[in-house]
Amino acid sequence: MATITYRNASCIYAQAETLAVDSLNLDIQDGEFVVLVGPSGSGKSTALRMLAGLEDIDEGSIEIGGKDMTGVPSKDRDIAMVFQNYALYPNKTVAENMGFALKLRGVSAGERRKKVEEAAKVLDLTEYLDRKPAKLSGGQRQRVAMGRAIVREPQVFCMDEPLSNLDAKLRVQTRTQIAALQRRLGTTTVYVTHDQVEAMTMGDRVAVLKGGKLQQFASPSELYDKPKNAFVAGFIGSPAMNLVTAPITSDGIRIGESTLELERDEMALLADAGLKEVTIGVRPEQLELSESGGVEVIVDLVEDLGSEAYLYTHAGAGIQLVARSLPRSPARLADTVRLRRTPDGVVHLFHPDTGERIG
């Protein structure tokens, strides 16, 4: 078990114009579960592979337990990794797969068998120990990959999209199992995913990356409530936050033909910033249908999920707004309705050019 520190760590791919990972700084506590999340090409996997020693640290450094890992080969880093396609050894049985690292360390066969059986019990794999990976289902292979990692009791777990090859239901189930297992073992874990739901539900803290650069590193609730910029705001949450860039008026901002009113302190922030336009962000669940006031929109689609419904609407030229409403919503396709902020609704303000949070 150990802390992990990324210090201005960068990775340059040959012939690439930008850095795959650009001066990444992360301080990961001992026993913490950290999720790296971002769209494809954000450098999240590269950042993880740098930690595992599978990519070079071209600039800066990465420390595990206070020791600089630059130039240390993977095999000497005491890291276990779960790969997206599991990378199980096809010619070895489940037990041999799980025990391979211990065998390499010279652990006796009896001891090895004991540890493998313990791990197999935790992961419900006992009856499959003598099978080859080809004879297992996707979910079982995933568990073997987990087993191979936990048997070793490493300093750090690295997980590279370990759930992306599972079907939706199994993914949700395994998600909670992995999180629970990690809490129990208390092993520092870095987990890569493109799925913001996984990030939100599993991580103690989440690092959002884009284009190789860290956007925000915070707890899930902080990412949700106080996104540092428009990208994080739009990336975290489902359906995504409404982000609209619109001109500022005397009492709010102009959306289409109507005005979304802002609070006085919000107007003050905008005045201080001296902007003519602003990007606002409002989460769908913080918009509601109203009789009067608010923004006039036309309904494009009603998505009734049973427990709630989402209205996909547009206001004027190309401005789209999504609002949550009660299920069996009264709004119908092509209706003109009015949306307003809920009483406790928050409007996030971002700089229209830089996307940085204002206030």
Question: x/- contact string, 242-271, with another protein (CB under 8 A)?
Answer: ------------------------------
Kindly write down the DSSP assignment for every residue of 158-179, as one continuous string: EEESTTTTS-HHHHHHHHHHHH
User: What number of other Cβ atoms are within 10 A of residue 98's Cβ?
Assistant: 29
DSSP state of 305: -
Residues 6+ apart with CB under 8 A from 173: none
Q: How far apart are CA 336 and CA 299, in angstroms?
A: 6
Least separation in angstroms between residue 128's CB and another protein is 16
72 makes contact with another protein (CB under 8 A): no
Residues 6+ apart with CB under 8 A from 105: none
Of the ranges 52-60, 172-180, 306-314, 317-325, which one interacts with another protein (CB under 8 A)? 52-60
Number of residues that bind another protein (CB under 8 A): 26
Least separation in angstroms between residue 123's CB and another protein is 17
80 makes contact with another protein (CB under 8 A): yes
Q: Where are the alpha helices (DSSP H) in 31-108?
A: 44-52, 94-104
* β-bridge pairing 33-37 and 188-193: parallel
Q: Which is nearer to another protein, 25 or 91 (CB)?
A: 91
- Residue 287: φ, ψ to 5°: -115, 145
**Residues 2, 37, 52, 181: which binds another protein (CB under 8 A)?**
52
Of the ranges 46-54, 63-71, 182-190, 330-338, which one interacts with another protein (CB under 8 A)? 46-54
Q: Which is nearer to another protein, 82 or 206 (CB)?
A: 82
278 makes contact with another protein (CB under 8 A): no
**Residues 152, 205, 228, 357: which binds another protein (CB under 8 A)?**
152
What one-letter code names the amino acid at 176?
A: T
**Residues 12, 58, 83, 285: which binds another protein (CB under 8 A)?**
83
Q: How far apart are CA 84 and CA 311, in angstroms?
A: 35
85 makes contact with another protein (CB under 8 A): yes
Kindly write down the DSSP assignment for every residue of 321-343, as one continuous string: EEEEE-SS-S--TT-EEEEEE-T
Q: Return the HEC string of 63-79.
A: EECCEECCCCCHHHCCE
**Residues 3, 61, 70, 74: which binds another protein (CB under 8 A)?**
74
Please report, as residue ranges, which positions from 90 to 149 form the binding site for another protein (by CB under 8 A).
90-91, 100-101, 104-105, 134, 148
81 makes contact with another protein (CB under 8 A): yes
Q: What angle is formed at CA 318 by the lines to CA 317 and CA 324, rounded to 5 degrees?
A: 115
54 makes contact with another protein (CB under 8 A): yes
Least separation in angstroms between residue 274's CB and another protein is 52
Least separation in angstroms between residue 98's CB and another protein is 10
Q: How far apart are CA 36 and CA 161, in angstroms?
A: 10
Contact 321, 242 (CB under 8 A): yes
Residue linked to tokens 């102009």? 254
Of the ranges 40-48, 75-83, 193-201, 327-335, which one interacts with another protein (CB under 8 A)? 75-83
Of the ranges 25-33, 50-58, 112-120, 238-246, which one interacts with another protein (CB under 8 A)? 50-58
Please report, as residue ranges, which positions from 189 to 248 form the binding site for another protein (by CB under 8 A).
none
* Tokens (6 digits) for 191: 């987990």
Q: Site residues (CB under 8 A) for another protein?
A: 52-54, 73-77, 79-81, 83, 85, 87-91, 100-101, 104-105, 134, 148, 152, 158
